[in-house]
Amino acid sequence: MRLTSEYTRVAAPHDEVCPYIQCGKNVKDWFIEWYSKEDQIEIGHKNLAMDCPWCRRAVFPHGLRVITPVGKVVKKARDIQKAEEYAKIQIDTNGVHYPDLISFLSDPVNDEKVAPYKRGYWSNINIP
């Protein structure tokens, strides 16, 4: 996420493999934007971990990479409301804003980057 100067900047990893050998799946977009600004700051300070959207284990952004935390750390899933807000400001190939998160996740143009968030990441979203 590119945060304004009043916030601590947190690098947004892209196209990174989950660092857990048991998972090892590629995540095209880690969508740190889907965390609140307060959570982004805590993630940047390594006081709070993101979760891998595939295996749900704790990870930290480290520059443009993701790493496993050392020791116990609290991890948090991405906020569906923040994801919804993000989706509504994105523009589809027709130049129109997506009306909601489901539309953003369902658009084949986004398929590769949203793959881990389409099924089971949030309990109320299950897109084939």
Q: How does pLDDT run across 14-73, given as a tens digit for each residue?
A: 899 999 999 999 999 999 999 999 999 999 999 999 999 999 999 999 988 999 999 999
pLDDT over 90 at 105, yes or no: yes
For 75, list phi and psi in degrees, rounded to 5: -115, 155
| In-domain check, residue 112 | yes
**How far apart are the two ends of the chain, measured CA to CA in Å?**
28
| In-domain check, residue 97 | yes
For 41, list phi and psi in degrees, rounded to 5: -65, -45
| In-domain check, residue 90 | yes
| In-domain check, residue 75 | no
| In-domain check, residue 13 | no
Query: How far is Cα 35 from Cα 39, in angstroms, rounded to an integer?
Result: 6
For 113, list phi and psi in degrees, rounded to 5: -80, -20
Q: What is the pTM of this model?
A: 0.87
Q: State the chain's mean pLDDT as an integer.
A: 91
Give me the domain span that covers residue 95. 80-118
Contacts of 110 (CB under 8 A, 6+ apart): 104
For 51, list phi and psi in degrees, rounded to 5: -110, 150
Binning pLDDT at 50, 70 and 90, where does residue 97 land?
A: very high
- pLDDT at site 13: 86
- DSSP output for 98-111: -SSHHHHHH-GGGH
The pair of structure tokens assigned to 24 is 């090892």
